Each structure stands twice: as C-alpha cells, then as structure tokens.
Amino acid sequence: MSQTLKRVGQRTVQFSNPPCIISTATIVGPKEGEGPLAHTFDKVMEDTYYGQKSWEKAESKILEESVQMALQKVNLSLQDIDYLLAGDLINQIICCNFAARTLGIPFFGLYGACSTMYEGLALGAMLIDGGFASKVVAATCSHHNTSERQYRYPTELGSQRPMTAQWTITGAGAFVLASEGTGPRITHATVGKVVDAGVKDPFDMGAAMAPAALDTLVNHFKDTGRGPQDYDLIVTGDLASVGRSVLIQLAQQQGYDLSQNYTDCGVLIFDPSQDTHAGGSGCACIAVVTGGYILNQMKAGKLRRILGIATGALLSPLSVQQGESIPGIAHAVAIEL
C-alpha cells in the first residue's frame, strides 16, 4: 500500500493497521497522589526524591520504572521492544537520556515540551503501521521541582505565583504499542504546527498554548470530516483552567461547540483545594491521565472514541530572558475501541 494513501487531508495520518495500546504504566508524585485521580495511577511516590540524591535523578528513575512496569504487565522484556521514544522538559532531555542508558532499548529522544507524550504516540504508531517496528514504547516524565528551578525560581525562595500559573506534574507514563493485541487502537494522528500568538508571560502557559491546540483541533476536523460530536471525549494536555476557557472561546468562533465533551488533563488531575492555581502541566500531565484515568474509562466501556491533544510551550529560560514570545505546538491522536 502506498504510504501517501495513509494521509488524510493536509496534516493527518489515518493508520491502515491501527497500532494497539497493549499496556500502560503510570507513576506520580505525592501531591498528584492526593488528587481526585489517585486511584487510577499504578504507583504514588512517598516523597519527591524517591530515594535519589537529586530531583533530576528521581525523575529519571520513575521514567525507567514506568517503562519496566508497563512491560511486566504484558510479560515482555526490554529485548522485545524495537524502539523507545521518550522526552522530558529538562535541558538536553537528560532524565530520559539517562533512563535510556539503563534500559538499553534503541532510543529516539524527543522534545515537544508538554506535547511530547502524544508526539511519541504518533511517531510510534507511524513506525508500527509503516512496518518498521512491531513493538514500541512511548514514554515521558516531568517533575515539579526540576522544572521550577530550570524555568522559574528555586523552590527554596518561596516566590509568589500568579493565579494563571500551573503546577508541573511529578510523574511518568509509559505506553506499549504493538502491531497486534487487544485494547484501544490509535487510528489517526494530526501533527501540529508551531503557532505563536505573541504571549510573553511564562506564568500563563494556558494562554500561550491554546491557539496551537485550536489550530490542530480545527485541522483534524477538516482533514477527517469529523466534529466534536464524533468523540465521546476531547481532552487537551495541560491548558488547565485558563487555557481551557480560552480554547472553548476560540473554537466557538470557528463554529465548534466544545462545551459538552471537552476537558483538560490539567483540570482533572488536581482538586481546587490543592492550591495548584490554574491546574496541572508538564510532560507527565497528559501521560498519566491518559495512561490511567482515560484508558481505564475506555476499558470499562464508558468511552469508545477519544481525541487527545497534547500541548507544549516551546520556550526556554534564555528565550524568556531575551524577551521572546512563547510559541506553542499541539499534536492530536485519536484512540478508539
């Protein structure tokens, strides 16, 4: 079959042999373990150091363990996996690099900021559907304290955060994709473009990323001929409460009503009483919510078709210091039973 026939519209891939998500594993930090989705995660860390000497080592450790846990669930070994696709938020994706060093799986390091999990799912599905692999692991991780001291201020300062700020999720998620198996399948992937709305406030990631989410959402609908009514659930990665509201308004202007079946992982993962301001963010946000809560809902028959859109803010400390605006990107994946 010609590869070009798998393209639908301008930016969407429709898989002719949809890869199956045969296993997932999720690990979260103590704060996430106190939230409303605590029962959906495989493991909750007792503390943010996780027995390591630094937060960065802890982040790398949970990524490594989530991969091993996902494989153990389906009785697979590291040698059974053709490729590992993973990324994180820390400079040069060191947390995933060091985990990949230990795991020993052929490794593609990815950086899409908080969109990385679905970037990995899309690329992993392409590898399998294209016949380049039979089993792939897509994974990602983030840690509140490693992100805070890289992007903003050392946590020891106790700096005041505005209400638009989000709380980076401490956690890791791993997905095992296979050409054969039972479970939800990845049927479509819509690749995002970098969109820059001119937002410069690093404490308002939701507003910065919402235009990219809209761009991918609208293109997915145009490419596939689908609309909001065709999905049981549409979920974004980490726009949180501010970005969620912005996206609903922007979509309404384009003629799409998201009021009935749309939510955001950054809203779902925390309770308002947990003082996370706008909600959750980070690479692990959509990873642990999808790998835990959402896929559990699908396995229970409560959801049959979802559209996940992982959003990422493509900034660095240097770009913010130089007064640059914050570009965003969003990758969408349709998962169906």
- Give 156 or 148, the one with higher predicted confidence: 148
pLDDT band at 4 (very low <50, low <70, confident <90, very high): low
SS3 25: strand
pLDDT band at 310 (very low <50, low <70, confident <90, very high): very high
Token pair in block for residue 50: 């996780």
CA dihedral 76, 57, 30, 144 (to 10 degrees): -120
Sign of CA dihedral 202, 208, 209, 210: positive
Question: Which tens digits make up the pLDDT trace of 51-105?
Answer: 999 999 999 999 999 999 999 999 999 999 999 999 999 999 999 999 999 999 9
What percent of the chain has pLDDT above 70? 97
* pLDDT of 154 higher than 70: no
Q: How many Cα neighbours within 13 Å face the side chain of 176?
A: 24
The pLDDT of 167-182, averaged and rounded, is 96
For position 211, what pLDDT does the model report? 97
Residue 319 burial class via C-beta count within 10 angstroms: exposed 0-12, middle 13-18, buried 19 and up: middle
The pLDDT of 222-247, averaged and rounded, is 96
* pLDDT of 239 higher than 90: yes
3-state SS of the chain: helix, strand, coil percent to 5? 40, 25, 35
* pLDDT of 245 higher than 50: yes
For position 132, what pLDDT does the model report? 98
pLDDT band at 150 (very low <50, low <70, confident <90, very high): confident
* pLDDT of 3 higher than 70: no
What is the rounded distance in angstroms from the CA atom of residue 60 to the CA atom of residue 52?
10
- Please say whether the beta carbons of 317 and 151 come within 8 A: yes
Kindly list the structural domains of the chain, giving each domain's residue range(s) and its CATH number in brackets, ordered by start. 3-178 (3.40.47.40), 185-336 (3.40.47.40)
For position 66, what pLDDT does the model report? 98
Token pair in block for residue 54: 């630094």
For position 2, what pLDDT does the model report? 45
Question: Which tens digits make up the pLDDT trace of 248-280?
Answer: 999 999 999 999 999 999 999 999 899 898 899
Other Cβ atoms less than 10 A from the Cβ of 51: the count is 10
Closest CA to 8 of 334, 336, 256, 337: 334
**Among 200-209, 251-260, 293-302, 306-315, which stretch is predicted with the lowest mean pLDDT?**
200-209
Assign residue 139 a region (left: φ > 0; alpha: ψ between -120 and 50; beta: otherwise).
Answer: beta
Cβ neighbors of 96 (< 8 A, separation 6 or more) are 60, 63, 86, 87, 88, 109, 139, 140, 141
Closest CA to 233 of 289, 282, 280, 181: 289
* pLDDT of 1 higher than 50: no
Structure pTM? 0.95
